[in-house]
Amino acid sequence: MDERLADHVTVPDVVGLPFHVGRDLATESGVTLANPDPDGPPIGNLAWPGLFYITSQNPAPGTEVYQWDSVTVEIVGSGAAERGALRNTPVAPPSNAAHAAHAKAEPMNLVDLATAAGVDSNRA
């Protein structure tokens, strides 16, 4: 018997999307993203931590597959892809200013726990 009992779903177009957005779209569509290397780690492990973009997928968007079948994707870290290489229409790369804004360290309030607790630090 070749027929599975799973529903059929349509593969979404995830090329050019940040991995976390493509993964969510794939899940909403009823498919899962996967590493093209079946012996490699899960694709989610390769795309974390950091900002990764999906550069290719198989099967192609619009293909009908069984629900929860895998769509293999290639990913590239932010800044590694050529501009416009991800889709036929140009996609603006992430702004370095946006990354810098997230990377600013907040001032830290350091507390000497021994002093705060009233412990005499001269005692051993």
* Domain count within the chain: 1
Residue 56 within a domain: yes
8 backbone dihedrals φ, ψ, rounded to 5°: -95, 140
Determine the structural domain holding residue 71 and report its residue range: 1-79
Residue 109 within a domain: no
pLDDT, tens digit (0-9, with 9 covering 90-100), for 39-89: 999 999 998 888 999 999 999 999 999 999 999 999 999 865 555 455 554
Flag whether the pTM goes above 0.75: no
Residue 93 within a domain: no
Contact present, 70 and 6 (Cβ < 8 Å): no
Measured CA to CA in angstroms, residue 62 lies from 11, 12, 14, 38, 97 at distances of 5, 6, 11, 23, 36
What DSSP assignment string belongs to 58-114?
ESPTT-EEETT-EEEEEEEETT-SPTT-SSSS--PPPPHHHHHHHHPPPPP----HH
Residue 106 within a domain: no
Contact present, 74 and 34 (Cβ < 8 Å): no
Per this entry, what is the length of the chain? 124
Residue 29 within a domain: yes
Residue 91 or residue 75, greater confidence: 75
CATH number, domain containing residue 15: 3.30.10.20
Residue 45 within a domain: yes
